[in-house]
């Protein structure tokens, strides 16, 4: 009986130590998406990162995804329910989740949160985003070398800073190899409206664009361009299956390493209330494999430029840069710092824009 009593007492002491009991239970991780995961686009690309996290950490974690969560009260409700259900780490994959997550996180200081594109952080709330401009510059090199009409078309969701980084860098990259190149942009007012995206792409092609790209979530632009025989550069996802004949490349983002690192830190009791901004150097931004239309010398130039961006030798927004009204935005001898990208609401020289 003494031996039995001693054994029960030892077990009770072990269970009372948080670190030990926690190690015996899978660490709960959740992802919140503002749309369906699907097979392309923003949520899909982040979900590939979720899958990599699960492969990397295996039985140490229990991961769930909550798609189709609207920004605002719905996202606050979902975040609160997940937190109350014992979820330890929440990745809120949309800018519109930032304020609801901050509100819930203040009520759960023992849990970790981070928001895609979220720029306000707290002790247990981080933010993260991708350097879209780095991929945009490389896409611009391909587009500038491909266009014959010197008109590159872009269908964007709306002229918010994230989209502007990509659009302006696209023009910078294109004009670095083809000074006559111009970019015509149409904004459809939505992150995911395939019919509008398709109509906008068709209008740009009818206006003379002979290379297309986009900053929207669906494959509608790629599909519309393929139908017209126009080369495309996809965004978010490698969309070659929608353009088997005319796909040039795509700008993609990779989050598996980031999600794994953040989860490992949270498991170790290190909630990082920091902002992470990843690009080519951090293996977040990469280009999809090139299509057969892209010549080897262009591929070599893109790869060399990617290395120069990663090393810091090539600054995407190095001056002098004028906007499309002729005002100098970045003086010669300087470059636009990352901290100023969130204020980018202007178009660089060579861009025409409109909306549908």
pLDDT tens digit sequence for 225-245: 999 999 999 999 999 999 999
Residue 10 has pLDDT above 70, yes or no: no
Give the domain extent around 91. 22-130+255-278
How confident is the model over 90-97, as a mean pLDDT? 95
Question: Does any domain span residue 296?
Answer: no
CA–CA gap between residue 201 and residue 356 (Å, rounded):
11
> Do residues 136 and 48 share a domain?
no
d(CA 318, CA 230): 31
What angle separates helix 73-84 from helix 98-107, to the nearest 10 degrees?
30
CA angle 158, 164, 170 (to 5 degrees): 120
If residue 92 lies in a helix (H) or strand (E), which one and from where to where?
A: strand 89-93
Q: What is the pLDDT of residue 24?
A: 62
Helical H segments across the chain, by residue range: 2-15, 18-23, 42-57, 73-84, 98-107, 132-146, 161-177, 194-206, 220-227, 256-267, 296-311
| Distance between CA atoms of residues 351 and 328, nearest Å | 15
- What CATH number should be reported for the domain holding residue 109? 3.40.50.2300
Q: pLDDT band for 354, please (50, 70, 90 cuts).
A: confident
Residue 303 lies in a domain: no
14-18, 226-230, 266-270, 324-328: which has the minimum mean pLDDT? 14-18
Shared domain for 269 and 347, answered yes or no, is no
Of 36-40, 217-221, 251-255, the one with minimum mean pLDDT is 36-40
Q: Is residue 3 predicted with pLDDT exceeding 60?
A: no
- Do 194 and 249 have their domain in common? yes
- pLDDT of amino acid 301: 98
Mean pLDDT, rounded, for 310-324? 97
Judge whether 216 lies within some domain: yes
**pTM of this prediction exceeds 0.75:** yes
Mean pLDDT of the chain: 92
Residues 203 and 322 in one domain: yes
Percent above pLDDT 90 for the chain: 88
* Residue 76 within a domain: yes
Domain count, the chain: 2
Question: Span 46-52, mean pLDDT?
Answer: 97
Measure the CA–CA gap between 285 and 331, rounded to whole angstroms. Answer: 27
The stretch 147-174 carries a mean pLDDT of 97
Do 159 and 189 have their domain in common? Answer: yes
Any domain includes 1: no
Residues 142 and 245 in one domain: yes
Q: Which residue has the higher pLDDT, 277 or 18?
A: 277
Residue 2 within any structural domain of the chain: no
Residue range 69-91, pLDDT digits in tens: 999 999 999 999 999 999 999 99
pLDDT-derived band at 297 (thresholds 50, 70, 90) equals very high
Are both 193 and 321 inside the same structural domain? Answer: yes
Residue at 156 is within a domain: yes
pLDDT the model gives residue 272: 80
Distance CA 133, CA 277 (A): 12
Least confident range from 27-31, 183-187, 204-208, 351-355: namely 351-355
**259 and 177 share one domain:** no
Q: Are residues 105 and 26 in the same domain?
A: yes
Residues 260 and 249 both lie in one domain = no
CB-based contacts of 294, cutoff 8 Å, min separation 6: 142, 146, 248, 249
Query: What is the pLDDT, as a whole number, of residue 22?
Result: 43
Query: How far, CA to CA in Å, does 22 sit from each of 15, 18, 124, 208?
Result: 9, 6, 19, 61
248 shares its domain with 259: no
Distance CA 202, CA 193 (A): 14
Do 163 and 246 belong to one domain? yes
């Amino acid at each position: 009986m003494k031996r039995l009593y001693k054994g029960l007492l030892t077990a009770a002491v072990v269970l009372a130590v948080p670190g030990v009991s926690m190690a015996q239970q899978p660490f709960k991780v959740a992802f919140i998406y503002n749309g369906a995961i699907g097979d392309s686009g923003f949520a899909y690309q982040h979900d590939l990162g979720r899958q990599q996290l699960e492969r990397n950490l295996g039985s140490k974690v229990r991961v769930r995804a909550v798609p189709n969560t609207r920004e605002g009260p719905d996202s606050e409700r979902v975040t609160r329910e997940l937190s109350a259900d014992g979820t330890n780490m929440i990745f809120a994959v949309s800018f519109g989740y930032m304020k609801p997550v901050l509100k819930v996180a203040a009520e759960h200081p023992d849990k970790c949160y981070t928001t895609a594109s979220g720029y306000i952080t707290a002790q247990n709330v981080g933010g993260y985003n991708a350097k879209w401009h780095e991929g945009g510059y490389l896409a611009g090199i391909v587009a500038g070398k491909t266009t014959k009409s010197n008109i590159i078309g872009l269908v964007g969701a709306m002229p918010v800073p994230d989209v502007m980084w990509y659009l302006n860098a696209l023009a910078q990259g294109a004009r670095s190899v083809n000074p006559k190149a111009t970019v015509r942009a149409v904004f459809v007012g939505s992150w995911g409206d395939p019919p509008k995206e398709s109509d906008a792409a068709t209008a740009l092609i009818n206006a003379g664009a002979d290379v297309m790209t986009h900053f929207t979530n669906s494959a509608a632009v790629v599909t519309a361009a393929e139908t017209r025989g126009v080369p495309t550069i996809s965004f978010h996802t490698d969309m070659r299956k929608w353009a088997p004949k005319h796909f040039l490349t795509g700008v993609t983002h990779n989050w598996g390493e980031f999600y794994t690192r953040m989860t490992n830190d949270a498991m170790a009791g290190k909630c990082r209330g920091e902002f992470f901004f990843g690009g080519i150097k951090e293996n977040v931004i990469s280009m999809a494999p090139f299509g057969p239309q892209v010549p080897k010398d262009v591929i070599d130039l893109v790869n060399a430029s990617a290395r120069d961006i990663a090393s810091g030798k090539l600054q995407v927004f190095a001056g002098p840069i004028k906007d499309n009204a002729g005002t100098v935005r970045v003086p010669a001898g300087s470059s636009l710092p990352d901290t100023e990208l969130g204020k980018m609401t202007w178009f660089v020289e060579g861009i025409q824009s409109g909306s549908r």
